[in-house]
Amino acid sequence: MLTLLEDKIATPLGPLWVLCDETFHLRAVEWEEHSDRMEALLNIHYRLQGYRRISATNPGGLSHKLTDYFSGDLAIIDALPTATAGTPFQREVWAMLRSIPCGQVMHYGEMAEKLGRAGAARAVGAANGANPVSIVVPCHRVIGRNGTLTGYAGGVTRKEWLLRHEGYLLL
């Protein structure tokens, strides 16, 4: 059975759940108001092996590191360890998300092309939407081909804030 250590932190965008395993690899990062989505993803990925959630304060220092990100230490998320389930294609997309530098964006079609799957922009979008570790696996850095801020499970307002915070969008 997988043990998930969970904490909730205050951010400028609202309360954020931080869940990691006992080796302090992030398994989920989700906005409190989207707890149902997080629960659904946890069940999809871990229900068969079984899991339990245990309250913890700053497990592995992860909560403080995410707080530091919101305080302006943008590079800190690059080093945070993750351990995601998902299909091989999803994990491929999520790995590519982590390669998008802070302050830059990519569009879904561009990601599909770089993955050798030109024309699979919708599949990339679906994998992006199933990302269980938001912010650290920066799905907010993916935008529509025409520059629109679409497809962020946390809401477009949060996506816009995160992109401004990272310097992509100017005030």
Q: Are strands 106-107 and 26-31 parallel, antiparallel or unpaired?
A: unpaired
Q: What share of the chain is helix, strand, coil (3-state, %, to 5)?
A: 45, 20, 40
Q: E strands within the chain?
A: 2-9, 16-20, 26-31, 51-55, 106-107, 142-143
C-alpha span between 156 and 171 (Å, rounded): 16
| Residue 102 annotated as catalytic | no
Annotated catalytic residue within 139, 142, 143, 149: 139
Which residues are catalytically annotated? 139
